[in-house]
């Protein structure tokens, strides 16, 4: 398995915990399910290591909106490629709440989804491939399209805005 972030394969220095296991001691970065975050957030906020939250379908990103400044990472699980709720979660976190930390796609993440995931706010992808294959998949997906009609949180210009800039003489 490999995690690709910003066109680079990165080490996974995060441990995903379940709802009940013991917290590791020390400066270990942990990802906890939303329910555990809500139940134990006072003790989790005092940890030396980084803390992230795992959102699954049915969770509400609004439940962590007030705590986003305390979270370094939000992992969003895709239990099946046909479940698109994670796209909405990422957009809400980036566009409504201004989350600037890492949003990682985990679970059933396919190459064909990567570009749209990125456009919705994901900046890291946990793929079930070796490092070279994962990086090649992400690079190929990101290069597929360069002009878009719909605006999203990734800040890329839309076809309409490019036309307007051309008309105004700002683009050659």
Contact 39, 17 (CB under 8 A): no
User: Which tens digits make up the pLDDT trace of 17-43?
Assistant: 998 888 888 889 999 999 999 999 988
pTM: 0.86
- The DSSP secondary-structure symbol of 155 reads -
Strands laid side by side in the 2-5 sheet: 8-10, 2-5, 124-127, 102-107, 73-78, 51-55, 29-33, 14-16
User: Which tens digits make up the pLDDT trace of 76-97?
Assistant: 999 998 899 999 999 999 999 9
User: Which tens digits make up the pLDDT trace of 104-147?
Assistant: 999 999 999 999 999 999 999 999 999 999 999 999 998 888 77
Domain 2-145 falls under CATH 3.20.20.70: yes
């Amino acid at each position: 398995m490999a995690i690709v972030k910003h066109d680079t394969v990165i080490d996974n220095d995060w441990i995903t915990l379940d709802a009940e296991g013991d917290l590791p001691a020390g400066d270990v970065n942990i990802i906890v399910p939303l329910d555990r975050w809500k139940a134990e957030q006072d003790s989790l906020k005092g940890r030396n290591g980084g803390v992230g939250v795992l959102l699954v379908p049915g969770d509400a990103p609004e439940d962590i909106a007030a705590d986003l400044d305390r979270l370094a990472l939000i992992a969003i699980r895709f239990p099946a490629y046909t479940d698109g709720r994670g796209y909405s979660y990422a957009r809400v976190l980036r566009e409504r709440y201004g989350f600037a930390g890492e949003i990682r796609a985990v679970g059933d993440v396919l190459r064909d989804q990567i570009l749209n995931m990125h456009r919705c706010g994901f900046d890291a992808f946990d793929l079930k491939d070796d490092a070279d294959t994962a990086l090649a998949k992400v690079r190929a997906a990101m290069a597929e399209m360069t002009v878009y009609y719909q605006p999203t949180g990734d800040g890329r210009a839309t076809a309409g805005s490019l036309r307007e800039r051309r008309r105004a003489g700002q683009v050659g």
